[in-house]
Amino acid sequence: MRSLRNRLALLFGLIVLGAIGIVYFSITPLLADRLTAQRLDRLLLDAQRARPSVIRPVSKRQPVDIVEARTRALATRTGSEALIIAMRGRARPRPRTLADSNPAGIRDQDVGRLVRSAIAGSGRGAQGVVATDFGRMAVGVAPLRDGKRVIGAVVLADSLDEVEDNVALIRRQVLYSGGVALAIALAGGYLVASRLSRRVKRLERAARRVADGDFGQPIASDSQDELGQLAAAFDEMQGQLAQLDTARKQFIASASHELRTPLFSLGGFLELLADEDLDEPTRKQFIAQVRDQVERLRRLTVELLDLSRLESGALELRPEPTDLGQLARDVAGEFTPAFARHGSPFALEVGREALELECDPERVAQIIRILLDNALVHTPEGTPIAVSAARRDGHVRVEVSDAGLGIRRQSMPHIFDPFYTADDGAQGAGLGLAIARELAGHMRGNLTVRSIPGRTTFTLALPA
């Protein structure tokens, strides 16, 4: 029973079996009771309607032949056994049968309780089911009154064999039809469950392929039902995993390359520094280059750590009320020596109005530093650089612009990708802009770029 196919087939069978049981044990008894009640109501109504035709012979004590003739006529008309009961006796009148349409049929003692109930009642009569030597019979009794005095009763009785036969027939039909339905349900359930099981197995095999790192086989969606939607979602997930796997491999390859270059340089410089004949000026030059490579490694490891924390969601932000205009002034001030070395005219466009918002000032400063460093690295010396900050459309925007050559059109879709560098000759691992965009997203902001020849602008927008 571990198989989904067998479980579903058994479930369908149990449902049908339960429905059969409900019909057999609940519905058919109700049907039997309803048919019996209808038979009893008909007999009582016929007995009440027959009273005018027999009350005169009984009250006038006409000859028995007349009473018996009318009794037989009543039995023929109603299709049941008829008895005429009269109260006889002076001191204590007792019911006594005057006429019976079938002397071999129902007896006085069989209907005595119902007759006494009808005579002692309000006048409507009595009805019920009695057990006789011929089986169960439905009986209706209507009292005969002469004024206020009860002089007898009309009794009509009919066998319930027909009712029981009809109910038994229905029960047999329920069992027969239920058996056929059960067989169809089991077969149909097994077939449906088999199809579902095959589809689930196909998804299971696909999941195992994905777990083994095979993302090459697409998962076809063969229908629009829930399993088809699951297959489509699984195929979409497989595509995303394939992209992530490719990105992971590219990331590892790029990181290895970026780490290998300064490490090889350091190894070469160390071998040169080990030369005892090396003159002092050259030695100092090599040591300076070693420091540059060590600094490059330090920055690369910090950027890799930041990017890893951002992608894993482990980076913790510390938001606090911050004047973004003042923050832009402070960060721009840090780059004054760099602008001077680069020969770049610098413009700061920040109004006097405070640009207050809730953010992590250290991370916003990190983004601005990345953008300014990017402008210095990727523009020719002497290129003007500008920083502006303003409030617009419910956001505080910080823009870093340069008047360089611009970003090539084919590079624009990849400018924020890790390890991507539009200028192969530039120093850096290509992680800065990727980290900047991730930081902006974590602060519910956005980092965008617009570039044309002679004007490139990076815009950081944070909700105010």
Instruction: Select from 53, 57, 45 the least CA-distant residue to 124.
Output: 45
Amino acid at site 171: R
Same domain, 161 and 79: yes
**123, 141, 166: which is the final residue of a domain?**
166
Strand residues in 290-409 grouped as ranges (E): 320-323, 346-350, 356-359, 385-392, 395-402
Instruction: Select from 278, 294, 382 the least CA-distant residue to 339.
Output: 382
**pLDDT above 70 for 293:** yes
CATH number at residue 434: 3.30.565.10
Q: According to the model, what pLDDT value does residue 158 have?
A: 93
Would you say 82 and 156 are in contact if contact means Cβ atoms under 8 Å apart?
yes
Same domain, 232 and 294: yes
CATH number at residue 258: 1.10.287.130
Same domain, 295 and 416: no
Alpha carbon distance 329, 320 (integer Å): 18
Torsion of CA 244, 249, 250, 252, to 10 degrees: 120
Same domain, 424 and 374: yes
Same domain, 100 and 238: no
Same domain, 424 and 290: no
Would you say 67 and 151 are in contact if contact means Cβ atoms under 8 Å apart?
no
Q: According to the model, what pLDDT value does residue 458 have?
A: 95
pLDDT digits (tens, 9 = 90+) for 403-453: 988 888 888 888 888 777 665 444 545 678 888 898 898 899 999 999 999
Torsional sign, CA 264, 265, 266, 270: positive
Alpha carbon distance 243, 251 (integer Å): 12
- Whether 39 is covered by a domain: the verdict is yes
**119, 136, 166: which is the final residue of a domain?**
166
- Whether 180 is covered by a domain: the verdict is no
Alpha carbon distance 296, 361 (integer Å): 25
pLDDT digits (tens, 9 = 90+) for 22-79: 888 888 888 889 999 999 999 999 999 998 888 888 888 888 888 899 999 999 999 9
SS3 379: coil
**274, 290, 312: which is the final residue of a domain?**
312
Q: Which of 8-12, 198-202, 306-310, 346-350 has the lowest mean pLDDT?
A: 306-310
CATH number at residue 79: 3.30.450.20
Alpha carbon distance 326, 416 (integer Å): 27
Q: According to the model, what pLDDT value does residue 255 have?
A: 64
Same domain, 153 and 283: no
Buried b / exposed e over 172-208, threshold 16 CB at 10 Å, is eebeeebeebbeebbeebbeebbeebebeeeeeebee
Range of the domain at 329: 320-463
Same domain, 130 and 60: yes
Same domain, 232 and 375: no
pLDDT digits (tens, 9 = 90+) for 216-264: 777 777 777 777 788 888 788 887 777 777 766 766 665 665 666 677 7
Would you say 386 and 362 are in contact if contact means Cβ atoms under 8 Å apart?
no
Q: According to the model, what pLDDT value does residue 400 have?
A: 94
Task: For residue 23, give every residue at least 6 positions away whose Cβ sits within 8 Å of its Cβ, in sequence order, or none.
Answer: 174, 178
Count the domains in the chain.
Answer: 3
pLDDT digits (tens, 9 = 90+) for 111-154: 888 988 888 876 788 999 999 888 899 999 999 988 788 888 99
Alpha carbon distance 119, 144 (integer Å): 8
Same domain, 350 and 331: yes
Residues 372-395 have a mean pLDDT of 90
